[in-house]
């Protein structure tokens, strides 16, 4: 990474690593409140990552020689979103919740590993440091505007329809989280605060 420049695969991997870390923390958590806070954070992070990647990074895949991977990745995200939605609609204290959340995390992590192994080398080879920085900043800006909860029936095109639906969904999610009194935990890995 050049001085002052962001690198897109590094920023994406931060999200992947946070989900891996949160899942590990959830599995070793004691007490319903701690488990619920970690589960809320897992759901939020998987939802944000998926939508942000779709409206920023995946739109660039054809230019990066990853046109075939674009549709495959969107399909995997759609599956992850459905599983994350199932977890979001359940409560961490219900019987079988670990399995419901575990299915979502397993699908997310499997997709993440595939990206890291297959897509990241191609992305790194195709982008100059300046273009990688630009795409990383686009991804980080998208993270701040997309919904914080899964909306699997919303448009998944990565285009203007998804961005518009995301803006409405994001506002709705903030209200739901505030009224519902959802608690969250801190993330182990962080993106730059100013970009």
Give the chain's radius of gyration (CA, Å): 16
Tell me the fold of 8-180: 1.20.120
pLDDT for 150 equals 80
Per-residue tokens: 50: 């998926």
Chain segment 42-66, per-residue pLDDT in tens: 999 999 999 999 999 999 999 998 9
pLDDT for 177 equals 57
Chain segment 163-183, per-residue pLDDT in tens: 544 444 455 455 555 656 679
d(CA 159, CA 123): 20
d(CA 152, CA 85): 7
Judge contact between 11 and 139, C-beta under 8 A.
yes
Q: Where are the domains of the chain?
A: 8-180
């Amino acid at each position: 990474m050049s001085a002052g420049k962001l690198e897109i695969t590094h920023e994406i991997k931060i999200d992947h690593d946070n989900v891996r870390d949160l899942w590990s923390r959830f599995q070793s958590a004691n007490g319903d409140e701690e488990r619920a806070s970690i589960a809320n954070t897992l759901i939020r992070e998987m939802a944000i990552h998926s939508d942000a990647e779709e409206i920023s990074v995946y739109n660039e895949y054809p230019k990066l020689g990853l046109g075939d991977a674009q549709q495959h990745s969107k399909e995997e995200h759609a599956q992850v979103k459905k599983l994350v939605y199932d977890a979001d609609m359940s409560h961490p204290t219900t019987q079988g919740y670990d399995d419901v959340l575990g299915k979502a995390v397993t699908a997310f992590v499997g997709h993440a590993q595939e990206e890291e192994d297959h897509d990241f080398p191609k992305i790194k080879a195709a982008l100059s440091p300046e273009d990688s920085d630009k795409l990383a900043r686009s991804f980080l800006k998208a993270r701040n505007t997309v919904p914080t909860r899964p909306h699997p029936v919303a448009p998944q095109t990565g285009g203007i329809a998804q961005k518009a639906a995301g803006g409405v969904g994001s506002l709705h999610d903030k209200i739901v989280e505030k009224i519902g009194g959802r608690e969250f935990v801190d993330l182990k890995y962080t993106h730059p605060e100013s970009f």
